[in-house]
Amino acid sequence: MIKAVRGTRDLLPPETALWNFVESAVRDVFRAYNFQEIRTPIFEPTELFARGVGEDTDVVSKEMYTWEDGERFNDKKIMDEWLRANESDDPSHVQAGRVNVQGSPPFLAKLKELGVQLQVWRGIQVPSGALAGRVEFVAFRPKVSSDAITALIEARKVAKGQYSQDFGNLAILLRLVVPDEAARKSPWVASKDIEIEGFAGNYFSSSQSLTLRPENTAGVVRAYIEHKMWDRGLNKLYYIGPQFRRERPQKGRYRQFYQIGAEVIGPPSAGSESPARDAEVLEMLATLLDRLGITGWNLELNSVGCAQDRAAFNEALRKALEPVVGTMCVDCQRRAVTNPLRVFDCKVPEDQPIIDTLPRISQFLDEGCRKHFEAVQQILTQVGVRFSLNDRLVRGLDYYTRTAFEFTHGALGAQNAILGGGRYDGLSEALGGPAAPGIGFAIGEDRLVMSLQASASGESVLKRPDVYVAALGAGMNGEAARLARELRRHDLVVDLGDENFRLKKSFEAATKAGAKYILIVGENEVKADAFALKNLATGEQVSVPRAQLAQKIQE
């Protein structure tokens, strides 16, 4: 049986009704704040995420779905390189390679399994020692194996120190090497006797590394720059859609997951930097959660300052950690090196007293950032949105500035954050655009729906049929369809049976569908042009003339 791939899932009714409920509430609420929808592609150049999210983040370095798009190879370059590589080798493997590739189905199957494509050129002359007459040149190309691409990215990273430049021009040439011994023994060399040797180079004449978006902010900012959206002043944009991360699945975290997000972005002159924007976004989120009936949420707020503030803070943090880190848990010791800010996420009870003594970003805010943060708080207080300050709340990525926030909710397992966001005044510039301060957030829709399921089920938000039209007897399907069409034009939800159903079965079907009424369309009714309409809840049944049916049902 073919199953949904690991970490993905089907959303089935009635649960989908809950998703629709959430999304329509989102559209309603966001609209009231004059946000408009933007839809960006679900895949983008890999470079966008490498630069936008950060190359050294886990998301980019190991959690993306990335592939090489384009099959156009520089064949001459591959052949030249292959021949050069073989001049110094024992040419016997050329012969072995030819024989076995052509004649060894298990080996070909193995290649297919690895996602490698085989291409053979005939008639290439190879150096002495090869078979007389025709020989074959054999090259292997990785198709869209993400493992192969990941391996290449790592290899290039090591080789060049960086891979941010020239990111899209990757290829690999795999060379078949068969040990002489094995080749002599049998012309049908088993796949385990074959070694595949790989080396990387620029063999694509034109191709591009693409990635399924792991988040949507980078795409939105890319679109902002590409379409010169600053010419419209302030932009308030929202999106709803799938995102992809190659993570190990756990509660509420899937490899295809859904995010609802919004961004306020524009030139500083349009007010995009104003604390009023931060407060507006936060107040909108509070309104949305209330509207969805989510109770018990908590807004946690912090300011991570400007780039300079954070540099000073990082320095101080490292200094403060140095003498004490040895006594902390192994995770913290690792974090202290890789990402000191993450030490604040530590949940080990013994480490808490140490963490309490560490410096806080709030001590390093400059005048502007402090005033900005105070203004945000003041507006929130004035509009009556509850919040709590959490000076441990930090953001790992460089372009984040000033306001950072999370809405948390209990009963969500270890991942208690239902949405998070913050200000990213430096992102547009990091992507090559003009200064465009912005603030945004992303809601994990999967988790949002999950927390709703506790209170409201899909059933409760599902619109049940108003009426079930039961055709009764031969030739009645047409009449029933006609009636259903008329009723649907009055915005009624109508379900339709079949003339072959016995009436009992129609009643059962109507009850199961949850219809309010059942409408019987039989020979008698058609003759009289008046139809038996029964209220399934009360049992009351009346005969209603055709012209009054819609009105009667709508009552």
Partner RNA sequence: GUGGGAAUAGCUCAACUGGUAGAGCACCGGACUGUGGCUCCGACGGUUGCGGGUUCGAUUCCCGUUUCCCACCCCA
Helix (H, G, I), strand (E, B) or coil at 207: strand
Nearest to RNA of 75, 398 (CB atom): 398
Residue 381 is which amino acid? T
Under the binding rule (CB under 7 A), the answer on residue 338 touching RNA is yes
Nearest to RNA of 51, 447 (CB atom): 447
Residue 504: count other Cβ atoms within 10 Å of its Cβ: 8
Provide φ and ψ at 134, rounded to 5°: -75, 140
Indicate the burial class of 283 (C-beta count within 10 angstroms; 0-12, 13-18, 19 or more): middle
CB 534 within 8 A of CB 501: no
CB 372 within 8 A of CB 383: no
Under the binding rule (CB under 7 A), the answer on residue 2 touching RNA is no
Using the rule CB under 7 A, give the single segment among 130-138, 191-199, 456-464, 536-544 that binds RNA: 536-544
Which tokens hold the place of 257? Answer: 């997951």
Under the binding rule (CB under 7 A), the answer on residue 453 touching RNA is no
Under the binding rule (CB under 7 A), the answer on residue 524 touching RNA is yes
Which tokens hold the place of 96? Answer: 């072995």
Which tokens hold the place of 409? Answer: 């909710």
Residue written as tokens 């080749």?
Answer: 183
Under the binding rule (CB under 7 A), the answer on residue 359 touching RNA is no
Q: Are strands 401-408 and 388-389 parallel, antiparallel or unpaired?
A: unpaired
Which one of residues 261, 340, 426, 497 is an interface residue with RNA (CB under 7 A)? 261
Helix (H, G, I), strand (E, B) or coil at 3: coil
Provide the mask over 477-506, with x wherever binding to RNA is found by CB under 7 A and - wherever it is not: -------------------------xxxx-
Which one of residues 247, 283, 398, 498 is an interface residue with RNA (CB under 7 A)? 247
Spatial distance between the Cα atoms of 40 and 212, rounded to a whole number of angstroms: 12
Which one of residues 129, 293, 413, 475 is an interface residue with RNA (CB under 7 A)? 413
Under the binding rule (CB under 7 A), the answer on residue 534 touching RNA is yes
Nearest to RNA of 179, 473 (CB atom): 473
Provide the mask over 420-439, with x wherever binding to RNA is found by CB under 7 A and - wherever it is not: xxx-----------------
- Segment (H or E) for 469: strand 467-471
Residue 469: count other Cβ atoms within 10 Å of its Cβ: 27
Which one of residues 347, 353, 367, 432 is an interface residue with RNA (CB under 7 A)? 347
Which tokens hold the place of 16? Answer: 């989908």
Residue written as tokens 């399994």?
Answer: 113
**Residues sharing a CB contact under 8 Å with residue 423, sequence separation 6 or more, in sequence order:** 278, 400, 401, 402, 403, 404, 437, 438, 439
Spatial distance between the Cα atoms of 269 and 280, rounded to a whole number of angstroms: 18
Under the binding rule (CB under 7 A), the answer on residue 59 touching RNA is yes
**Sheet containing 541-545: which strands, arranged edge to edge?**
494-496, 467-471, 517-521, 530-535, 541-545
Nearest to RNA of 107, 405 (CB atom): 405
Under the binding rule (CB under 7 A), the answer on residue 192 touching RNA is no
Residues 126-165 that bind RNA (CB under 7 A): none
Shortest Cβ 310–RNA spacing (Å): 14
Which of 181, 167, 165, 97 lies closest to 131 in space, CA to CA?
A: 97
Under the binding rule (CB under 7 A), the answer on residue 442 touching RNA is yes
CB 70 within 8 A of CB 255: no
CB 215 within 8 A of CB 204: no
Which one of residues 88, 367, 537, 555 is an interface residue with RNA (CB under 7 A)? 537
Under the binding rule (CB under 7 A), the answer on residue 335 touching RNA is yes
Under the binding rule (CB under 7 A), the answer on residue 444 touching RNA is yes
Spatial distance between the Cα atoms of 113 and 478, rounded to a whole number of angstroms: 54
Under the binding rule (CB under 7 A), the answer on residue 12 touching RNA is no
Under the binding rule (CB under 7 A), the answer on residue 57 touching RNA is yes
Provide the mask over 62-101, with x wherever binding to RNA is found by CB under 7 A and - wherever it is not: ----------------------------------------
Nearest to RNA of 348, 547 (CB atom): 348
Under the binding rule (CB under 7 A), the answer on residue 415 touching RNA is yes
Nearest to RNA of 97, 261 (CB atom): 261
Using the rule CB under 7 A, give the single segment among 19-27, 154-162, 334-342, 371-379 that binds RNA: 334-342
Residue written as tokens 């372009």?
Answer: 399
Shortest Cβ 76–RNA spacing (Å): 36
Under the binding rule (CB under 7 A), the answer on residue 351 touching RNA is no
Under the binding rule (CB under 7 A), the answer on residue 273 touching RNA is no
CB 531 within 8 A of CB 518: no
Give residue 430's region: left, alpha or beta (phi > 0; psi -120 to 50): alpha
Which one of residues 123, 349, 432, 539 is an interface residue with RNA (CB under 7 A)? 539
Spatial distance between the Cα atoms of 385 and 530, rounded to a whole number of angstroms: 57
Residues 203-232 that bind RNA (CB under 7 A): 215, 217
Using the rule CB under 7 A, give the single segment among 35-43, 115-123, 319-327, 328-336 that binds RNA: 328-336
Under the binding rule (CB under 7 A), the answer on residue 349 touching RNA is no
Using the rule CB under 7 A, give the single segment among 153-161, 205-213, 300-308, 389-397 that binds RNA: 389-397
Which one of residues 507, 549, 550, 553 is an interface residue with RNA (CB under 7 A)? 507
Helix, strand and coil content of the chain, in percent to the nearest 5, comes to 45, 25, 35
Alpha carbon separation from 376 to 301, 371, 449 (Å, rounded): 10, 9, 29
**Residues sharing a CB contact under 8 Å with residue 74, sequence separation 6 or more, in sequence order:** 202, 203, 204, 205
Shortest Cβ 63–RNA spacing (Å): 7
Shortest Cβ 420–RNA spacing (Å): 4
CB 355 within 8 A of CB 344: yes
Using the rule CB under 7 A, give the single segment among 74-82, 162-170, 187-195, 412-420 that binds RNA: 412-420
Binding residues for RNA (CB under 7 A): 3, 6-8, 57-59, 215, 217, 247-252, 259, 261, 331, 334-335, 338-339, 342, 345, 347, 395-397, 406, 413-415, 417, 419-422, 440-442, 444, 447, 472-473, 502-505, 507-508, 510-512, 520, 522-525, 532, 534, 536-537, 539, 541
